[in-house]
Amino acid sequence: MGVLEKAPAAGAVNTRVLGASAGADENTTTTTIVLAHGYGGDQSVWDYITPQLSESHRVVTFDWIFSAAAATGGDADDAAVAPFDAEKYSSYEAFADELISLVEHMDLGPVVFVGHSMSGMVGCIASVKRRDLFRHLMLLGSSPRYLNSEDYKGGFEESEVETVLHNIETNFKAWAHDFASVVVGGADSAAAVAATDRYRAGLTGMRPEAALAVGRTIFLSDNRAVLGLVEVPCTVVQTKADAVVPMHVAEYMQGEMKAALEVVDCEGHVPQLTAPDLVVEVFERILGRV
Which one is catalytic: 42, 63, 97, 242?
242
Q: How many CB atoms lie within 10 A of CB 214?
A: 25
260-267 vs 234-241, strand pairing mode: parallel
What are the beta bridge partners of residue 206? none
Residue 164 to residue 155: CA distance in whole angstroms: 13
DSSP 138: E
Residue 71 to residue 39: CA distance in whole angstroms: 16
Contact 237, 264 (CB under 8 A): yes
Which one is catalytic: 57, 116, 136, 269?
269
Contact 184, 243 (CB under 8 A): no
Q: How many CB atoms lie within 10 A of CB 254?
A: 19
State yes or no: is 242 an active-site residue.
Answer: yes
Which one is catalytic: 21, 44, 54, 117?
117
Give Cα separations from 209 to 44, 98, 173, 215 (angstroms).
Answer: 22, 20, 12, 10
Residue 167 to residue 208: CA distance in whole angstroms: 11
Catalytic residue positions, numbered: 117, 242, 269
